[in-house]
Structure 1
Amino acid sequence: MQTPCLVLVSRPQLEKWWEDMAYLSSRQPLMPACHMAGSFAQFADAHSFTGTRSAWAADNVGHYLEFWQLLKQ
């Protein structure tokens, strides 16, 4: 069995590979199946949230935007 090796690629090549692999290789619809910012209800307090759905969605968007800002730094 051959072990995989690390291949250094430029950022545009990596972005193209990620787009092809993560988004385009799947034949499922993108919106319910793929989400670039995160996944809904995969964190510990998701099922214990007591507010409205819109408040829960706003809270999620706030966390995703914070995470996005961290990625861009």
Structure 2
Amino acid sequence: GAFESRELVQAMRGRLEVESREGLGSRFVVRLPLARKDGVANHFAALDPQTGGDRPMPAPTHRKVA
């Protein structure tokens, strides 16, 4: 799973970040460039609208991505 995920993300010119803590689990973050209408890549981070967009959104739990 992790190898395939890394290969897929790299093929899309993105980055896969992994943070693991013993007893707490692991967190995987996928960062992909977002194309603007003019075709120029713009790196996108999901910001939490409840905090005025100044902090990343909390990671959902138990989300299945296919």
TM-score by length of 1: 0.28
The structure with the largest strand share of the pair is 2
- Work out which of the two has the higher radius of gyration on C-alpha atoms and give 1 or 2: 1
Q: Which has the higher contact order (CA 8 A, sep 6+)?
A: 1
Higher helix share: 1
